[in-house]
Every structure is written in C-alpha cells, then in structure tokens.
Structure 1
C-alpha cells in the first residue's frame, strides 16, 4: 500500500500529529507539507491534516481536500476546542464536506492543540464581541496549551492504523 500524509500547521500542532501518523504507518509512505505541489495519483490512501479555522479546515487544507478526486481519504485536525465538543465535530464535518463526490472519507480524527497567541493575548473589539473571553473559554485555551501530547500522538497513531485497515489495501 502506498500512503501519503499531508499536513498544514500554524503553531506546529498538526505537524506533530502528522509525524505520529506517518511513524505509525506501514509500507510505502511519504509525508509532505500542504501547499507544496504534490501529485496524489498512485496513492492508495491520503491523510489530510489541518489546523482549525472558522469551524473548518485552514485554506491550504481546503484546497487539497477539494482537489482529491477518486481517492480514499482520512482527515485529521487540531483545534483549541475539546475533541468531543460540537465545535470539533463541526471542524471535521465541514472539512469532509469539501471532498469531491468521487472520493471516500474513511474517517476523521481531531485532537486539542494550543492556539495562536492572538486568541489569548490582545484582541480586537470585534473578536471580543464575537468570542468573549469567559472564564470557561480561558480554561479551555489553557488546557489546549498542554496538547497535543503523547496520549494524543498514540491515539492518532492507532486511528491511522484503523484507516489503513479500512482502506483495505
């Protein structure tokens, strides 16, 4: 089986998860940062990683997801939200919805990760109106600073092996 792991990362979170996935994969495999030109033809399974952006994938990941015709795809991401939250489900569902109809999403995975300092530091008046810094939000962002961690990497690796099995290659 020939597998490709793509990733896009703003703070290094998704890059680290991509490496854990890549390290767990058997067989012929390659890892490439999204945004670099890469022909995906000939790969049996393509992993696409993103950092959470506006309840979906970042722009680089959006471009690659929408271009993956006739592929088996596994989608993973990192975001400051809790992995079992409605927001996390939105990130993954919105990313998966970008795939062309002739591709198959085999599964999704998300883990919490530290967020860009903009979300914690000085913020614009608009940002404060849209997402006020409540005690709950601050606690979630502080928890996100601890991720991804070794447990997250192990979960990502186990998920990657499940995706390989689902791909049946």
Structure 2
C-alpha cells in the first residue's frame, strides 16, 4: 500500500504532526506540503493535515480535500482548542464534509497546538469583540503552548497505523 501525507501549517504544529504520521507508516510513503505535492494518482491512502481556521480547514487544505476524488482519506488537524471539545469536532467534521462524494473518510485526528501570536498578543478591536480574552480562553491558550508534544506525536502515529490498517481491510 502506498500512502501520501500532505500538510498545511501556519506555526509548525501541523507539519510536526504530519512528520509523526509519516514516520509511523509502515509501507511506501511520501510527504509533501500541500500545494507542492505530485499527482495523487497511485496512492492508496491520503492523509490531509491542516491548521484549524474558522471551525474548519485553512484555505490550502480545503482546496486539497475538495480535489480528492475516489480516494481513501484520513484527516488530521491542529488547533488551539482542547482535542475533546465540540470546537475540535467541528474542525474535523467540517473538513471531512468537503470531501467529494466518491471519496471515503477513514477517520480523523486532532492535536492541540500553540496558537499564532495574534490570538494572544496585540489584537484588533474586532478580535477582542469576537473572541474576548476570558480566563478560560487564556488558560486554554496557555495549555496549547505545550503542544504538540511527545504524547501527541505518539497518538498521531498510532492513529496513522490504524488508518493504514483500515485502508487495507
């Protein structure tokens, strides 16, 4: 089985998770930044990684996901939110909904990751209104600074292996 790992990253979080996914895969495999990949023809399983943006995938990943006709796909992401939160589920569900009808989403994975400094440091008045800095939000962003970590990489690798096994079944 031949796998392709694609990633789009803003802060390096998704790239790091993509590398953990890639390293865990047992068979033939390639890894590329989205937009720089070769044709997806010839790959049995495609992993698509993105950084969370507006409760879904970033624009580069959206274009990639929408183009994957007739493929088995596994979707992963990083975001500042807690991995077990509704926001995390929304990121993954909204991204999976972009797949063409003739494709199959085998599964999803999300890791918490540090957030772009815009969300923590100097912020516009609009951002302050839309996303006020509450104590809970600040605690979540501070926790996100510790991720991805070795446990996240291990879990991503285990998930990748399970997706490869599922693709072969």
CA distance in 2, matches of 1:72, 1:153: 22
The structural deviation recorded for 1:168 is: 1.1
CA distance in 1, matches of 2:157, 2:138: 29
Structure 1: which 5+ runs fail to align? none
Q: TM (normalized to structure 2)?
A: 0.99
Aligned length: 169
Is 1:16 paired with 2:16? Answer: yes
- Once the two structures are superposed, what CA deviation does each residue of 1:94-128 show, in whole Å capped at 9, x if it has no partner? 00000000000000000100000000001111111
- Once the two structures are superposed, what CA deviation does each residue of 1:114-167 show, in whole Å capped at 9, x if it has no partner? 000000001111111111000100000000000000000000000000000110
Q: TM (normalized to structure 1)?
A: 0.99
Structure 2: which 5+ runs fail to align? none
CA distance in 1, matches of 2:118, 2:29: 35
Displacement over 4 Å in runs of 4+: none
CA distance in 2, matches of 1:125, 1:36: 36
Q: Contact between 2:6 and 2:37, CA under 8 Å: does it hold in 1? A: no
Aligned alpha-carbon RMSD (Å): 0.7
CA distance in 2, matches of 1:110, 1:164: 17
Q: Paired residue for 1:25?
A: 25
